Copies of this chain bind each other. A is one copy, B any other.
Amino acid sequence: MIVVMKSDATPDQVEKAMRRIESLGLKPHPIHGVERTVIGAVGDERGKSAFESLIEIEGVENVIPILKPFKLASRELKAEPSEFNVGPVRIGGKGFALIAGPCSVESEEQILDVARQVKARGANMLRGGAFKPRTSPYSFQGLEDEGLRLLAKAREETGLPIVTEVLSSEDVARVAEFTDVLQVGARNMQNYSLLKKLGKTDRAVLLKRGMMCTIKETLMAAEYILTSGNPRVMLCERGIRTFEDSTRNTLDLAAVALMKDWSHLPVIVDPTHGTGVRQLIPRMCKAAIAAGADGLMVEVHTHPEEALSDGFQALLPDQFLELSTDIKPYLAIEGKQT
């Protein structure tokens, strides 16, 4: 950590700052410049936000952290990329997760139909929401427990592992009973009660980046799950919120490459929510693979015009087939397979 003193700080203030640095367990190294003094503070500064309080010392202008704040999620701790299985599907390494399905589970007929069709067209995992986080309380909120039951039935019929969202720490146990991967939605990325509870389950977790969250914050959210004991975490880039209004979100593919560089965790990309524009999805799937993604999650619906949520961006089964075919040469270059 670097503590920058004001240009008019007195020697006494510098002294006081140094004593405070020591009291925090760090070793202070003052550098007396022409305009001001800065103090290097040596030691492990991670995760100790009490250090921020150094800025309270009179005469201190700024406190600059040096280390990245995450540990367990970092390549510095674990250089090799993490790999694990979800049922038969390999996540990370040479594996590639192709997760498809509707936004919401709407009925037995719908979810079984979509499950069969996406399986036949190349998907290796099934997504579908039973609990839906909706901006409006007047919108369809999901089939809840009935939806979970239907997802389990779809797995039974098709063998596809299930990815479904859990909205609240209270629901973790009952959702975990029915699903293979517990998804944390973008709005919940910093719901720490939920993250801690997920760290105690034996299910894999798909952690979506919040639409307002930095890459570092995303890795810190993963750190919550990892420190609670669950190593099977996948990160998911699903677009961030910007001023651009022709797409629903701005898909940040550099974040995929940077998360892969900083962290050993696998990274999935969701171009459906990441763009919100159906005709952009195939291009963004290809680009995501080229950026280093370990998987894709896309919405597929047999009757998008009748979907109870988000139908406007779902692919039809045959569009999905075209997609799963078109991405093959890109997967081949990257040495990945579904």
Contacts and interface: CB of A to CB of B under 8 A. Distances in A.
A253 interface: yes
Contacts of A287: 253, 257, 287-288, 290-291
Contacts of A139: 47-49
Contacts of A47: 136-139
B290 A246 contact: no
A64 B250 CA distance: 21
B246 A243 contact: no
B42 A40 contact: no
A42 B53 contact: no
A277 B254 contact: yes
Interface residues of A, number: 112
A301 to B, nearest CB: 9
Nearest to A44: B34
A280 B304 contact: no
- For the residues of A in contact with B, the DSSP-based class is mixed
A170 to B, nearest CB: 5
A316 to B, nearest CB: 9
Contact of A244 (B76, B188, B193, B255): B255
Contact of A254 (B69, B274, B310): B274
B192 A214 contact: no
Interface stretch (A25-33, A83-91, A110-118, A156-164): A25-33
Interface in A67-105: 67, 69, 76
Nearest to A279: B261
A242 B247 contact: no
A170 B52 CA distance: 31
A53 B303 CA distance: 10
Contact of A291 (B138, B190, B283): B283
B167 A168 contact: no
A254 B251 contact: yes
A136 to B, nearest CB: 4
A120 interface: no
Given A29-B31, A290-B290, A49 B136 contact: yes
A143 interface: no
A108 interface: no
Interface stretch (A146-154, A175-183, A216-224, A317-325): A216-224
Given A29-B31, A168-B168, 7 more contacts: A49-B139, A49-B309, A137-B227, A212-B241, A214-B245, A241-B243, A284-B291
The 4 closest A-B pairs by CB, nearest first: A47-B138, A212-B212, A56-B305, A168-B193
